[in-house]
């Protein structure tokens, strides 16, 4: 027999859903995050399904900025089409059917100025020593 998953219905019972909502609100325009990344940022690793549940229950959140793992749009039909259109309007780049996560993933808790760039670094040219005449 399968166990039933009991989700809290009110915010008074659990701090989970306000923290998930707060994490979603941190995702800036033009960036995206996965359900799992939002759950980890809220302090609940492994609670990706609860992120989906919180998105369904909340209004006014930027729901379109939260994707399945690997940048996949998990919503079927017109909802998935609407999500893609909203993301493209914000400047999010796609690679086929998936969001290009290397360019558009929001990394929670990291200073955007210190995030590693995906551009190859060029090494400074070394000055050659002049040979002294013998």
Q: For the whole model, what pTM was predicted?
A: 0.73
Q: Is a pLDDT exceeding 60 seen at residue 5?
A: no
Q: Is a pLDDT exceeding 70 seen at residue 123?
A: no
Q: Give me the mean pLDDT over the 9-16 stretch.
A: 63
Better pLDDT: 109 or 53: 53
d(C-alpha 88, C-alpha 41), whole Å: 25
Q: Is residue 107 within 8 Å of 101, Cβ to Cβ?
A: no
Q: Which domains does the chain have, with CATH numbers?
A: 16-104 (1.10.10.10)
Q: Is residue 71 within 8 Å of 99, Cβ to Cβ?
A: yes
For residue 91, count other CB atoms closer than 10 A to its CB. 11
Q: Give me the mean pLDDT over the 109-129 stretch.
A: 53
d(C-alpha 48, C-alpha 69), whole Å: 10
Please write the tens of the pLDDT for every residue from 23-68.
999 999 999 999 999 999 999 999 999 999 999 988 899 999 999 9
């Amino acid at each position: 027999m399968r166990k039933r998953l009991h989700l809290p219905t009110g915010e008074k019972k659990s701090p989970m859903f306000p923290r998930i909502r707060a994490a979603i609100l941190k995702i800036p325009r033009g960036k995206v995050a996965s359900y799992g990344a939002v759950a980890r940022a809220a302090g609940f690793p492994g609670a990706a399904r609860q992120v989906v549940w919180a998105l369904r229950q909340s209004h006014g959140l930027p729901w379109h900025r939260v994707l399945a793992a690997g940048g996949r749009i998990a919503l079927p039909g017109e909802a998935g089409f609407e999500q893609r259109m909203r993301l493209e309007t914000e400047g999010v780049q796609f690679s086929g059917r998936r969001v290009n996560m290397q360019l558009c993933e929001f990394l929670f808790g990291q200073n955007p100025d210190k995030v590693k760039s995906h551009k190859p670094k060029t090494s400074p040219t070394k000055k050659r020593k002049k040979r002294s005449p013998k």
